[in-house]
Structure 1
Amino acid sequence: MATETSDDRIPVTLLTGFLGSGKTTLLNNLIRDPDAGRIAVVMNEFGDVGLDHDLIEEATEETVLMQSGCICCSIRSDLVETMRALLDRRKGGDLAFDRVVIETTGIADPGPILHTLVVDQQIAPSFRMDGVVTLADAAVGPRTLDAQFEAVHQIATADLVVVTKTDLVTPDEVERFEARIEGLNATARRIHAEHGRVPPGALFGLSALRPSVTSGDISDWLGTEPSKPDPLAGLSGFARQSSKPASLPFGQAGHHAHHDHRISSAAIEVEDPIPAGIFDFWLDTLIAIKGPDILRIKGILHVEGLELPFVFHGVQHIFDTPVHVRSWSGTDTTSRVVVIARDTDAKGLQKSLEILRTRPKEDGSDADGMMVHTTGMSF
């Protein structure tokens, strides 16, 4: 497993997006790009599309390994067996790859795959989630979001949204579509693909849960103002929030008549270190009440009594192992927490986050006299 100073697990990128959004085109370009490195691509056998037929005919293991260092395989059983088989062949010297890209079907929920990678002890010690990349079609995407909640869900869970087919619509239509995406997930970075081409580095290193993470990486991950220039600024056009808001309710896209209103988001910043009991109380009660509907929880947390902050991430009730930010320096002790949920009242979600501002009295109660416990409470 990962240690405090290193993480040798193989990074995994989850590539999702609704039917026809351009996943196959992006994968074809990624596989042919020598700068992408050695990638194992796992494709769901229930998908409606795969790699282009001519590429499949060319892509014997020997040919692909010599030309671009990529290995393509299809899921023949379940995900765990596929990942174990890849790992066994890598250890045996039959295959050489440095990361894995899993392409889901167009209607897939990313949640179960994320859960499997985190909790299954057959593969969790060897693989780590590197990020969720969602493709969004600018031409038909608005209608897809209206008709299919799965497409809304895919955007809400993304670390990166790749907007495709922008050449088929007007700049105003692209702008409105991106505004809608931001309403669903304001923390996800956005870039445009040109005929399926994106810089390979834009797809990788999205998660902040790694020992080498920097404060700038965390700012990118949480959608706050970075402390260093954005290397993708020319591609993304991403509009970030202010770096020092008192409270950030967002993602309330109620003006759309279909599915957008089912996604609510809230964020908070707390300048002083948070007592561990307060954070445990908030997290335990939120998961107990809304666990199945929590799409993403992520943040950086400064805890009273700890010298270094840590970053954390969860989907529903499943959480990755928190990672201490060993590169942290300076006196900034601001915690930042983001929650994205479905079928959840946005005001209630924001109110729950305000618990993190609670300062317990010496008798163990908060300012309103409520006893603070780590379990068994609700709000």
Structure 2
Amino acid sequence: MTKPTGPVPPIPLSILTGFLGAGKTTLLNRLLRDPALADTVVIVNEFGEIGLDHLLVEQADEGMVLLSSGCLCCTIRGDLIATLEDLLRRRDNGRILPFRRVVIETTGLADPAPVLHTVLYHPYLAIRYVLDGVITLVDAVNGMATLDAHAESVKQAAVADRLVLTKTDLLPECGAAGLVARLRRLNPAAPILQAAGGEATAAALLGAGLYDPDGKIPDVRRWLQAEAFAQDRDDHAHEHAHAHGHGHHHHDVNRHDDRIRAFCLTHDAPIQGGAFDLFLELLRSAHGPNLLRVKGIVAIAEDPDHPVLVQGVQHVFHPPVRLPAWPDDDRRTRLVFVLRDLDEGFVTRLWDAFRGRPAVDAPDAAALADNPLSLRGAPRLR
């Protein structure tokens, strides 16, 4: 059989995460029955811990099992990078049938950042795989207590592209309203789907990222959900006015939540490519660990008709992708930030400094540039 020539389309990869007992395996079992997940590889941290036994039909190879849905299940043996590379070798050598998608199920205590790092930053894997989205499950019964006690669960919710609320059928009507409100404060942009209501379908969960197998311009509006942040600001303003008007505050967000802030930075005019490069470099070097997630579309002055897509996790940024055209009539720069232990004002003042409108208390860009870390490791616009 003649191998196809030309670049190989990247393989979409979804991350399924959520705290212990959130129902990840139950949802995964249901999703695997959907034809949309045929020819999918499922990667799990510990094979013995997942409940896929009723779907297994044949041992394919060491650590790999064929599922009746047409999927392939394998374990992470030591290193996720090695597992993803091994899958590509088997696929390219014809040892397994070509798969069309990868789903990684993390352990309940997992920080999703290392998996995101692997997909976004590794020079080879970043070419062959493309992040299709982070799906986070939240247990409606125990969700509040979990968010209170475990910072990992807060981070899982904050970086999600899709939030799935499980076990709502075990609660009285509107019993999850407080949890939903809390999740919306943590992550204004992620749609919240109810598993018990049948909303967490493959169609609703897949395709949350930028990759379009049909070669169409990606739906950036759906990816960023930037308009959700405007509503979030209105809600915060209402809470603030309500608290001051009554002499008390009903805002009972836990200390873990207080450490995290999500917002969208917008700008009408294009920015010089060099200035944007330096903005990212200085932000990453000064506060890399606090950048839980950054994603956006940027208008570059040197080529305003072809916007640039950027996304990063902590200090790691994926090489920027230049689009052939704007996906809609909105030609503004829109950057979504999920921050931990970092004031939104620092980011906006640094942005103002580099777009040529420094605020009175803007960071000293020249002083930051003296930091030797600021000139290493961040991707350049091309």
TM-score by length of 1: 0.80
The answer to whether the aligner puts 1:299 opposite 2:296 as a matched pair is yes
Pick closer, same or farther for the CA change 1:370–1:261 going to 2, 3 Å.
closer
Among 348, 358, 376, the alignment partner of 2:369 is 376
- Contact 2:226 / 2:334 at 8 angstroms: preserved in 1? no
Q: CA deviation at 1:367?
A: 7.9
Distance in structure 1 (CA, Å) of the matches to 2:359 and 2:349: 16
- AA aligned to 2:76 is I
**Which residue in 1 is equivalent to 2:156?**
154
**Which residue in 2 is equivalent to 1:135?**
137
Report the 3-state secondary structure (helix = DSSP H, G, I; strand = E; otherwise coil) of the residue aligned with 1:161.
strand
Aligned counterparts, 1:229-308, within 5 A:
240-242=228-230, 255-306=252-303, 307-308=305-306
The answer to whether the aligner puts 1:73 opposite 2:66 as a matched pair is no
**Which residue in 1 is equivalent to 2:380?**
none
Distance in structure 2 (CA, Å) of the matches to 1:135 and 1:316: 22
The answer to whether the aligner puts 1:199 opposite 2:194 as a matched pair is no
Pick closer, same or farther for the CA change 1:353–1:163 going to 2, 3 Å.
farther
- AA aligned to 2:155 is H
- Contact 1:155 / 1:161 at 8 angstroms: preserved in 2? yes
Report the 3-state secondary structure (helix = DSSP H, G, I; strand = E; otherwise coil) of the residue aligned with 1:259.
helix
Aligned counterparts, 1:201-240, within 5 A:
201-208=203-210, 212=215, 214=217, 217-225=219-227, 240=228
Aligned counterparts, 1:141-180, within 5 A:
141-180=143-182
TM-score by length of 2: 0.79
Distance in structure 2 (CA, Å) of the matches to 1:267 and 1:350: 10
* Range that drifts further, 342-351 or 90-99: 342-351
- Contact 2:135 / 2:205 at 8 angstroms: preserved in 1? yes
Deviations 1:156-200 (A, max 9, x none): 111111111111123423222111111111122222212887321
- Contact 2:58 / 2:67 at 8 angstroms: preserved in 1? no
**Which residue in 2 is equivalent to 1:116?**
118
Among 320, 323, 343, the alignment partner of 1:322 is 320
Q: CA deviation at 1:263?
A: 0.6
- Contact 1:285 / 1:377 at 8 angstroms: preserved in 2? no
- The size of the alignment, in residue pairs, is 348
Distance in structure 2 (CA, Å) of the matches to 1:9 and 1:329: 20
Distance in structure 2 (CA, Å) of the matches to 1:328 and 1:188: 23
**Which residue in 2 is equivalent to 1:89?**
90
Unaligned 5+ segments in structure 1 are 226-239, 360-365
- AA aligned to 2:307 is P
**Which residue in 1 is equivalent to 2:374?**
none
Distance in structure 2 (CA, Å) of the matches to 1:224 and 1:131: 16
Distance in structure 2 (CA, Å) of the matches to 1:370 and 1:116: 31
- Contact 1:267 / 1:350 at 8 angstroms: preserved in 2? no
The answer to whether the aligner puts 1:17 opposite 2:18 as a matched pair is yes
- Contact 1:40 / 1:70 at 8 angstroms: preserved in 2? yes
Q: CA deviation at 1:153?
A: 0.6
Report the 3-state secondary structure (helix = DSSP H, G, I; strand = E; otherwise coil) of the residue aligned with 1:32.
coil
Aligned counterparts, 1:318-357, within 5 A:
318-328=316-326, 332-355=330-353
- Contact 1:24 / 1:49 at 8 angstroms: preserved in 2? no
Q: CA deviation at 1:108?
A: 0.5
Q: CA deviation at 1:131?
A: 1.2
Report the 3-state secondary structure (helix = DSSP H, G, I; strand = E; otherwise coil) of the residue aligned with 2:282.
helix
- AA aligned to 1:284 is E
Distance in structure 2 (CA, Å) of the matches to 1:69 and 1:374: 56
Distance in structure 2 (CA, Å) of the matches to 1:258 and 1:372: 32
CA RMSD of superposed structures (Å): 3.5
* Identical aligned residues as a percent: 38
Distance in structure 2 (CA, Å) of the matches to 1:376 and 1:15: 38
Among 302, 306, 309, the alignment partner of 1:311 is 309
- Contact 1:249 / 1:265 at 8 angstroms: preserved in 2? no
- Contact 1:266 / 1:349 at 8 angstroms: preserved in 2? no
Deviations 1:321-352 (A, max 9, x none): 22223242676431111111112234434444
Distance in structure 2 (CA, Å) of the matches to 1:34 and 1:350: 44
- Contact 1:249 / 1:350 at 8 angstroms: preserved in 2? no
**Which residue in 2 is equivalent to 1:184?**
186
Distance in structure 1 (CA, Å) of the matches to 2:348 and 2:300: 21
Aligned counterparts, 1:53-68, within 5 A:
53-56=53-56, 58=57, 60-61=59-60, 67-68=68-69
Report the 3-state secondary structure (helix = DSSP H, G, I; strand = E; otherwise coil) of the residue aligned with 2:220.
helix
